[in-house]
Structure 1
């Protein structure tokens, strides 16, 4: 792990604090946000915002297996994911790993391999990488193994997911149209059918299985929810056993039911601009505007979180503080992380520095440690004075859409 930054004060920037953009300074010391006459760094022309808290990220799979037949060492994939997260302003990242009957990179064997690698990698991590398991509901026979893994690897988040019905429907449709239901070699196809049949055979045991898991997770302090709820009834059934988080619901009814019950709704940031084809009728933007969304997650693409924020500001009239809370303060609250999500004195120094004109992230600080730096911000931290011509006072796109800045 890198060293803590020396005590410093960022001056001249616009700071997001107490729900408003303010022209004030912010100081960092011993990994925390503090106060005091510390050495100053002039960040005139920049925005300083709380670090992003990402509740569901699967970008690591792209670094792990960029091609189906090319799988790399998990430690290498974690290092690449870590740097990608930092470069995109993510300071706390939950890596979403499957625990599925599908096997392969989504199966329990690989899940345990990844969790073991993450435990080893954390000592050198730039960001706060954590594990989130996406557990298939029909994995009845792995209950003891799952609970042991959650306990051993200190998994703090888990969501239940049922892909069995969709898989069976997909196979039926392919057969009806004369297609090969499984486009894999015969050996792999036989193994896949066997896993599928075994999962089907445990269907009647699923409700009791989930209740037992929920009770165990409550005892362990695990925060859990569900992924891909089809309707309000499905969401209600999960809520009844304590699975409160509603992640990536597949219908407006499911999202509305979660909101009515006070359960947090987590939506996919990429879906703000690129909705998934079969679920495109569910408008993420509409749910956000209706105040049905509590947090946005990167899903499969880290840059989408920043992109979604500016889309909400520029195209849908949302204030920057309100839009940013969907990727920082609210996710931190959902995961009961009181030490991050806002730039409040005494909290972890997790912050993102954006160039106000280009809107590019030029620095990310995690727990008072430098995780990423580029561009003009790097020169500022090295002690160079900003050139007057580079930051002349003129309206920027971001300034035009921001509320009036408070000056303290």
Structure 2
């Protein structure tokens, strides 16, 4: 299959050119800085052409599986709905985040997570899905059942990323107990006394399980070639611990200190795209824009809003002088692909996969007009 896309503003690694992209058998085989003479070339009408987005951390699949408390949807339908939403947001490669390690505030079980993983696998095998799907295991290391649930994914080749998290109060994401109280008292409708007991229980579980589970997950990840990410690092000590465990990606560092230490140690710093769009963290932690201004931001993830990823890529350059459009686009394409070890995608270059997105910007919002995965139009 061959196709030519012409009259496009093509976002390359370090510049934007006007020209044409030639695709054959799912790969990019030619780049020209002139209109194409190919009769059947598709006119992009001056729209941007960027690489397909690579999403490392989205919690959105669970929202489709459990759209309301105690309401579970068919897992195949949930995966298809999630896939449609991410692909029409320009995401051609997605790491679906599934929880490993649960507590009493969870409305799902480990077997629910396994059912979703099986639905992803079936969707891939039967050609139901538009995007390329992998699995990211979000390992809550303070949970007693973390390793039990982790073993449910033993030998699953779709698992390519695992993050190590500890959401106990007074540290990392919830260094502020006020923020922790707002989140959990609101979510679980606890009284002050119930909240105090809840915090004490969480802290005891963290002291009992976190260190042991971090080391156990990291050891399995090294054996299986799974990329490891830390989560909500706040201090240099957290980063040093991450390096010792073999971490390659620093997800959502909560302070400038942790982000800078991560960069110094060669970790890729990942922040949430909603943080960029909103101008700050919903938990009151460091702003992604602040990290971008300091040169401490490598990757953006949609986290909980799939469209925020492409929105932030076109928005970041408008609000942060130090970041160009090619640099911002790299944060949602080339950089996450490299961090995940996917060197066949993430940029418009000869020999790379023809994962492409046609974008028109209207009123500062990127409108996704077409999406191709390996040269085949999927949205």
TM range (shorter): 0.7 to 0.9
Q: CA RMSD in A?
A: 3.1
CA distance in 2, matches of 1:66, 1:141: 24
CA distance in 1, matches of 2:209, 2:291: 34
TM (norm. structure 1) is: 0.79
What pairs with 1:288-307 in structure 2 (closer than 5 Å)?
Answer: 288-307=292-311
Q: Provide structure 2 residue ranges, at least 5 long, that are not aligned to the other structure.
A: 32-37
Partner of 2:313: 309
CA distance in 2, matches of 1:164, 1:301: 24
Partner of 1:8: 3
What pairs with 1:153-302 in structure 2 (closer than 5 Å)?
Answer: 154-165=158-169, 182-183=188-189, 197=201, 200=204, 203-274=207-278, 275-280=280-285, 282-302=286-306
Match of residue 375, structure 2, among 349, 368, 374 = 368
Partner of 2:116: 114
Q: Is the 8 A contact 1:101 1:199 kept in 2?
A: no
Pair 1:149 & 2:153 matched: yes
TM (norm. structure 2) is: 0.84
1:131/1:99 Cα in 2 relative to 1: closer, same or farther (>3 Å)? same
SS at match of 1:302: coil
More displaced, 313-322 or 219-228? Answer: 313-322
Which structure has more RCO (C-alpha within 8 Å, separation ≥ 6)?
A: 1
Q: Is the 8 A contact 1:97 1:106 kept in 2?
A: no
More displaced, 65-74 or 196-205? Answer: 196-205
CA distance in 2, matches of 1:335, 1:67: 32
1:61/1:19 Cα in 2 relative to 1: closer, same or farther (>3 Å)? same
How far has the Cα of 1:265 moved from its partner?
A: 0.6
CA distance in 2, matches of 1:319, 1:367: 27
How far has the Cα of 1:251 moved from its partner?
A: 1.7
How far has the Cα of 1:203 moved from its partner?
A: 2.9
1:105/1:7 Cα in 2 relative to 1: closer, same or farther (>3 Å)? farther
